[in-house]
């Protein structure tokens, strides 16, 4: 996302979240979170670890991120307005524990596709005690896009003594056409760009970068593992593409000699997906 655009989007969401602190807190979920029932709900959790290395077992479940129940009414105002999905939960942990204990908020694509992560944010930074000071302050963190989902947003955590209200705001398409064009013009041409009959994909931050490339028949693609953990490059049909274990710092190459689309994943990390379109 263009840096200026992202800052504006995050600032706007943060203001909205902080403005509603008084009203949302009472509606936060004390019991086991339940789905919103829109059919497009995104399960969310607080995990131990970072977005690059999450413990797959969630520590604190959050309510599904979804459109508010009253969002089905007739839309008014600018038709180009971007809808914001939301999750409100009260968790049994103090804010300072969440802020300094090595946690991250992770959002999944859906209950049916729980292995695909669409947005994540590490918990950290500075607790703002200029607001809600008597309870312990407020912490706001950004949620960055994962797996080319187009989703990003912000989480606002509000201290409630030994508990914390967690408000997640998520939207798709915050980047916009102008931001996408700017990002494309500023992006380096090395990773994922075919040169002659070769191209490269960097494995970094538990993701294939770029996740989708289009290449001509006969192109050799080389994946290089820049993460500190092993990965694989594995097609659903393993006869088409199977790297075996790619250790940190190592590379794997494969030449695509037939046209078609090859979807692949990492056998060690279910959230990692990539696509090769061979023309």
Q: pTM of whole model > 0.85?
A: no
* 97-143 tens-digit pLDDT: 999 989 999 999 988 888 888 999 999 889 998 888 888 899 999 99
Cβ contact 99:123 at 8 Å:
yes
Residue 8 pLDDT > 90: no
Question: Average pLDDT for residues 69-83, to the nearest whole number?
Answer: 64
pLDDT band at 35 (very low <50, low <70, confident <90, very high): very low
β-strands 198-203, 219-225: how paired? parallel
Share of the chain above pLDDT 70, in %: 74
Residues contacting residue 36 through CB under 8 Å, at least 6 positions apart: 63, 64, 66, 67, 69
CA distance 278 to 256: 7
Distance of CA 128 to the CA centre of its chain: 24
187: pLDDT confidence band, cut at 50, 70 and 90?
very low
Least confident among 88-102, 176-190, 224-238, 263-277: 176-190
Q: Is the pLDDT of residue 224 over 60?
A: yes
Where exactly are the structural domains of the chain?
3-177, 189-278
Mean pLDDT of the chain: 79
- Kindly give the pairing relationship between strand 60-65 and strand 85-91: unpaired
Query: Could you give the 3-state DSSP secondary structure of residue 219?
Result: strand
Q: Which class would CATH give 189-278?
A: mainly beta
Distances, alpha carbon 174 to alpha carbons 3, 59, 148, 183, in Å = 12, 29, 13, 13
Q: In terms of pLDDT, which residue wins out, 172 or 241?
A: 241
Q: What is the pLDDT of residue 211?
A: 92
Mean pLDDT check: name the lowest of 1-15, 57-71, 142-156, 217-231. Answer: 1-15
Looking at residue 60, its pLDDT comes to: 95
């Amino acid at each position: 996302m263009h840096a200026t655009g992202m800052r504006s989007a995050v600032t706007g969401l943060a203001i909205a979240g902080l403005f509603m602190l008084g009203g949302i807190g009472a509606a936060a979920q004390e019991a086991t979170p339940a789905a919103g029932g829109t059919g497009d709900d995104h399960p969310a959790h607080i995990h131990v670890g970072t977005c690059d290395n999450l413990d797959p077992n969630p520590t604190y479940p959050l309510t599904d991120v979804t459109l508010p129940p009253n969002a089905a009414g007739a839309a008014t105002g600018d038709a180009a307005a971007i809808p914001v999905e939301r999750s409100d939960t009260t968790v049994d942990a103090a804010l300072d524990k969440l802020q300094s204990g090595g946690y991250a908020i992770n959002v999944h694509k859906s209950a049916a596709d729980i292995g695909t992560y669409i947005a994540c944010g590490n918990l950290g930074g500075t607790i703002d005690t200029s607001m809600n000071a008597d309870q312990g302050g407020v912490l706001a963190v950004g949620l960055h896009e994962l797996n080319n989902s187009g989703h990003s947003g912000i989480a606002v955590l509000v201290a409630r003594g030994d508990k914390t209200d967690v408000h997640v705001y998520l939207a798709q398409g915050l980047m916009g056409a102008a931001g996408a064009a700017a990002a494309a013009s500023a992006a380096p041409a090395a990773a994922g760009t075919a040169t002659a009959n070769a191209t490269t994909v960097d494995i970094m931050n538990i993701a294939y970068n770029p996740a989708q490339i289009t290449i001509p028949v006969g192109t050799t693609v080389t994946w290089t593992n820049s993460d500190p953990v092993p990965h694989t490059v594995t097609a659903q049909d393993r006869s088409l593409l199977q790297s075996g274990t790619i250790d940190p710092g190592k590379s794997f190459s494969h030449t695509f000699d037939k046209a078609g689309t090859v979807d692949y994943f990492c056998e060690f990390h279910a959230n990692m997906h990539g696509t090769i379109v061979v023309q």
